[in-house]
Amino acid sequence: MRTVRAIRYLTPLREGGSVPAVVEADDDGTYVAKFHGAAQGPRALVAELIAGELGRLLGLPVPQLALIEIDALLARSEPDPELQDLLRKSAGLNIALDYLPGALNWEPALAPPPEPELAAAIVWFDAFITNVDRTPKNPNMLRWHRALYLIDHGAALYFHHDWSDHLARSRSPFAMIRNHALLPLAGDMRAADAQLAPRITQAALRDIVAQVPDDCSSRRRSVPSSFDYAVVRVVPRVERGELIIAGVIVSCPTQGYLAARVALDAARLRALSPSTDAAEVEAALALIPLIAAGDPRGGPIAALPRGERFHWLVAPRSAMIQTSPVHTGLCDAPAAALDHLFERLVLLP
């Protein structure tokens, strides 16, 4: 299983008790990270990994998994103290799943039902992994590009929380499968068993279990630098909340770096506010990189020390040009991080 390093903490997902988060990694991928420092502890991550890889072995639609390294520095710009604590406790290796942007929760009243064969396979799989958490109230399924995806397997394999008499219990019926969200839609369960059971061999199980790290809290790679960044926003009508992302400011004090890049989508500005003078807005935006660079053309603010210039640039404002809250990222080269953020946040349509 591949290992990636989280370089940006994007947003928490507060639907579950474990508070996973959407993060960007150093392979340019976006993931949902699940943390070993959460209340459920590392065993929930072990269940997530084993169950997810079993599902993929069976050909079921489970997002691809990865190990992800979390650095405690990512907690620095998180305003919520509980999330700060979670990130610090989760420093080291954690589990991540591919993020499915734009996915919808599976709702039986809205989504077309899965084929009976697929529904039966999912029910069989959840019975095998003793998954108690795919019920009508909380189906833990997503619709993405008109396909069904299975997520959130941290509550599965619950026997590993109590190993007493586990062999005998492994042969007992899994009664809670009667609450499964897809059971009413499932086809022939005997056919599903005949198709899926032969795929789960001892060798396959050993290979999957071998992917579980010995210590989810161990660190494997060092992170050379952290940086702070803010997004420049043009808000032509504050009362409507519409905005245009027009730039990025990056500060990396450990490398003595402060720089910004800006670009205005003038066509979008005209669409949102036809009466606004785009040239005037562009002239105001052009001062931001000059101030960041300490260029005298940026005016008296450009003469301030680097740290003070950054704080001035990201200070809250109510005028048309504003900045986002400051976020933290990790990088090897802050100039490359600025280029990456600019291309990803400003230039992408």
Given a cut of 80, whether residue 55 has pLDDT beyond it is yes
Average pLDDT over residues 115-144: 95
Question: Do 306 and 294 form a contact (C-beta atoms < 8 A)?
Answer: yes
Mean pLDDT, residues 264-274 taken together: 94
- Verify that 71 and 22 share a domain, yes or no: yes
Report percent pLDDT > 70 for the chain: 96
Confidence of residue 349 (pLDDT cuts 50, 70, 90): low
Asked if 200 and 246 sit in the same domain, the reply is no
Whether residues 29 and 174 share a domain: the answer is: yes
Q: How confident is the model at residue 219 (pLDDT cuts 50, 70, 90)?
A: very low
Read off the pLDDT of each residue in 65-85 and give the average, rounded to a whole number.
89
pLDDT at 171: 77
**pLDDT tens profile 167-184:** 777 778 888 999 999 999
Q: Is residue 216 part of a domain?
A: no
Cα distance between residue 349 and residue 340, in whole Å: 15
Same domain, 17 and 88: yes
Q: How is residue 186 written in tokens?
A: 């499932």
What's the length of the chain?
Answer: 349
Q: Which residue, 258, 255, 254, 234, is CA-closest to 310?
A: 258
DSSP designation for 115: P
| Residue 259 belongs to some domain of the structure | yes
Q: Are residues 66 and 30 in the same domain?
A: yes
Q: What is the pLDDT of residue 183?
A: 96
Determine the pLDDT at residue 160. 79
Whether residues 8 and 155 share a domain: the answer is yes
Indicate the pLDDT class of residue 16, thresholds 50, 70 and 90.
Answer: low
pLDDT in tens, 234-260: 999 878 889 999 999 999 998 999 999
Residue 187: inside a domain: yes
Q: Are 32 and 97 in contact (CB under 8 A)?
A: yes
Using DSSP bridges, classify how beta strands 65-70 and 3-12 pair: parallel, antiparallel or unpaired.
Answer: parallel
Say if residue 43 is in the same domain as residue 129: yes
Band the pLDDT of 40: cuts 50, 70, 90.
Answer: confident
Last residue of a domain, one of 209, 244, 278: 209
pLDDT for res 218: 43
Measured from the Cβ of residue 169, the count of other Cβ atoms closer than 10 Å reads 13
Q: Give kind and range of the element (H or E) at residue 65.
A: strand 65-70
Ordered DSSP codes for 318-329: -SSEEEPPPEEE
pLDDT at 216: 56
Give pLDDT, residue 348: 74
Asked if residues 18 and 3 have their Cβ atoms less than 8 Å apart, the reply is: no
Measure the CA–CA gap between 77 and 148, rounded to whole angstroms.
Answer: 35
Cβ distance 24 to 4 under 8 Å?
Answer: no
What percent of the chain has a predicted confidence (pLDDT) above 90?
Answer: 75
For tokens 């269940």, name the residue: 47
For residue 224, what pLDDT band results from cuts at 50, 70 and 90? low
Where in the sequence is the domain holding 111, given as residue range(s)?
Answer: 3-209
Which of 87-91, 216-220, 246-250 is modeled with the greatest confidence?
A: 246-250
Burial label for 35, CB within 10 Å (0-12, 13-18, 19+), is: buried
CB 296 within 8 A of CB 302: yes
Is residue 107 over pLDDT 80? yes
Instruction: Inform me whether the pLDDT recorded for 220 exceeds 50.
Output: no
Neighbours of 22 (CB within 10 A): 17
Query: What pLDDT, on the 0 to 100 scale, is given for residue 17?
Result: 65
Judged by DSSP in three states, 308 sits in helix
Helix, strand, or coil (residue 273): coil
- For 65, phi and psi rounded to 5 degrees? -105, 160
Same domain for 48 and 195?
A: yes
Same domain assignment for residues 170 and 82: yes
Among 185, 209, 233, which residue terminates a domain?
209
Is the residue at 154 inside a domain? yes
Contact assessment for residue 132 and residue 174, using Cβ atoms and an 8 Å cutoff: no
On the question of pLDDT at 2 being above 60, the answer is yes
Among the candidates 209, 238, 258, a domain finishes at 209
Task: Please say if the pLDDT value at position 163 is more than 80.
Answer: no
Angle CA(87)–CA(253)–CA(221) in degrees, nearest 5?
45
Q: Answer yes or no: do 141 and 289 share one domain.
A: no
User: Is the pLDDT confidence value at 222 over 60?
Assistant: no
Query: In what helix (H) or strand (E) does residue 293 lie, and over which residues does it extend?
Result: helix 278-293
> Is residue 213 very low, low, confident or very high in pLDDT (cuts 50, 70, 90)?
confident
The CA distance from 254 to 108, in Å, is 52
Shared-domain flag, residues 180 and 243: no
Kindly calculate the radius of gyration of the chain based on its CA atoms and give it in whole angstroms.
Answer: 24
Q: Over the chain, what is the mean pLDDT?
A: 91
> Is the domain of 278 the same as that of 340?
yes
Q: Give the per-residue pLDDT at 77.
A: 79
| Nearest in space to 117 (alpha carbons), one of 67, 62, 59 | 59
**pLDDT confidence band for 130 (50 / 70 / 90):** very high
Q: How many domains does the chain have?
A: 2
